[in-house]
Amino acid sequence: MRPKQAHAIAVAGEQQAHSSFAKFVAAALMSVALVWAGLAKAGEITKTHGISTFGTLKYAQDFAHLDYVNPDAPKGGEISIWAQGTFDSMNPYSTKGRSGGLATVFFESLLTGTADEIGSSYCFLCTTMEFPENKDWVIFNIRDDVTFSDGSPLTAEDVKFTYELFLEQGLPSYRAVLGQQVESAQVLEPNRLKFTFKPDVPKRDLIENVGGLPIFSKAWFQSTGAQLDESRMEPAIGSGAYVLDSFDANARIVYRRNPDYWGVDHPFSVGANNFDTIRIEYFGDSVAAFEGFKAGAYSFRLENFSKTWATQYDFPAIKDGTYFKGKLPDGNMATGQSFVFNLLRPKFQDIRVRKAIALMFNFEWSNESLFFGLYARINSFWENSDLAAVGVPTPQEVAVLRPLVEDGLLPESILTESAIDGPVSSARQLDRRNLRTASALLDEAGWLVGDDGKRRNDAGEVLSVEFLGVSPSFDRIVNPYVANLVSLGIDAKLTRVDSAQYTARTRAKDFDMTNDSFSMNQEPGLSLKQYFGSEGAAKSVFNSASLQDPAVDRLIQVVARAETKEDMHIAVKALDRVLRAQVFWVPQWYKNVHTVSYLNIYEHPDPLPPFALGYLDFWWINPEKEAALKAAGKL
């Protein structure tokens, strides 16, 4: 602009030059005034290496390494784990196909979190970020040394491309949320990118949301013609510490550490990415997988089957110390593991039917008879955290809930009744009191018992419930539940399918009930719409129940707009209370420890951080232990 202006002044004469200059000065002053007016409206611009939603950042910009890692951890060796079923894709961002385990390992994001904080996000692929007080936009200043695994630089153009790719081809539920949040992504300079957010949307966690996008190579997608929403065996290239080494379809996948990884000296990488290779062995079911573990087919097992843990860890490798067996602390909230109703089924639209079915799952008997007393009951979507609703609503929760009652979206009873917990049962498999209560509910709902002992509605349709399962180890848990439902007059059955069928049917919402987990976080926001929001519910892979409820939609907005930690906690408890009142799940169980067994060459930081076990991240191999086992012929 300045060269053109100088040229105009030179050729137009002195008087015109003075006039042009005056106009230029006036325009410049007006521009400056508008900028300052905008800054005054937005507030002071913050430039920082990290952001914390409600608290303060633990780590300064010049920190050397995370507190919970061993910065001197040796590099080398292999860790191997197991996965169930099959895989036919290496694209984890599509509903088409079944993705291979750990297929997200290639990709990194602008921001990253830690395992010893709640609500903090730090620059990883960026050096700093800039944003105004009202968080209407954010600028990320991207590091100039980040490269993809093929050696090409990662730039702002790749970040913009990734955002647009997710917006066009991402999961429908994610596209809906992202599209409502972001106005635009703009490349300001090769390593400088600006996200502008839409007006009138909650902005509390928008910076973290866009900063958490996995970053893809624009050049790779353009050269290959690949789509984000397709099933393919060739993974997209990323900037992560590991690349694909090899795979044998439906048998194993091997990832190897990239020797040219750009971030090897990054403070977040010090003490991490310690294994040369990570191997995943595939088995048809958990029984076969456990036998494989005993035979040395893989080296680390996170045991999720209580009977196996209690009765089968007495094999020789445990007794002679080749394998370690023990419990490690788990500070995370429960996963929300549950039996889930498909609310798209007409028979489940009546809450009395769902309540009756929920009454027939006997957790107390299951825990004592099947789980060896290892578990506690899940009641809340935020179980094992201070976000769980407890007892009757507090006055602050009532203040959040009352407008929904006044608008006819919730019953008056939500203001005075205790939060709904899972039904309590007797020590006998079939609890007669719950059976009578469930029977009365179904009678009231119009499902009456016929001469053949089965319940039918006025149209003569039998009340049937099919549990869709994939793991043989779960049969012993579901079958007693099925038997209890049969005693109630319901035509109940368990249908176990293979992994591919299970994936296809659950994504198509072709099931009555199935197992799922609702993995919440400590500072939820608009991401709740993917799990519980009405928009896109019938197709969402996260909203497995297909819940569509206007009161829930309103409360998600209240949670997302909370400006203080206290207000957020109150809103989440109110939402938890309303979700539990919908009875679209039959909550199962959890434990606050990790039950693990592994080849006794691995070591980990002590103490572990509260929010991650980290065995693939910051554990390492003790060379002396490895050498001793090799000398003894155990490896």
The tens digit of pLDDT for each residue in 86-101 reads: 999 999 999 899 999 9
Question: Boundaries of CATH 3.10.105.10 in the chain?
Answer: 338-590
Q: Which helix (H) or strand (E) holds 631?
A: helix 623-631
Residue 250: per-residue pLDDT: 87
Residues 6+ apart with CB under 8 A from 148: 154, 217, 220, 237, 238, 239
Confidence band for 40, pLDDT divided at 50, 70 and 90:
very low
Residue 18 vs residue 424, higher pLDDT: 424
Top-confidence residue, 239 or 18: 239
How much is the pLDDT for 15? Answer: 33
Residues facing residue 189 across a β-bridge: 192
Distance CA 602, CA 270 (A): 18
Q: Which fold has domain 285-331+592-631?
A: D-Maltodextrin-Binding Protein; domain 2 (3.40.190)
Domain boundaries for CATH 3.40.190.10 within the chain: 43-54+77-276, 285-331+592-631
Q: What percent of the chain has pLDDT over 90?
A: 86
The CA distance from 582 to 465, in Å, is: 19
Report pLDDT digits (tens) over 558-612: 999 999 999 999 999 999 999 999 999 999 999 999 999 999 999 999 999 999 9
Architecture of the structural domain at 43-54+77-276: 3-Layer(aba) Sandwich (3.40)
Rounded to a whole number of angstroms, the CA Rg of the chain reads: 28
- Residue listed under structure tokens 């079915």: 357
- Superfamily of domain 338-590 in CATH is Dipeptide-binding Protein; Domain 3 (3.10.105.10)
Could you please report the per-residue DSSP string of 564-621?
A: SHHHHHHHHHHHHHHHHHH--EEE-EE-SEEEEEEETTEE--SSPPTT---TTTT-EE
Mean residue pLDDT across the chain: 92
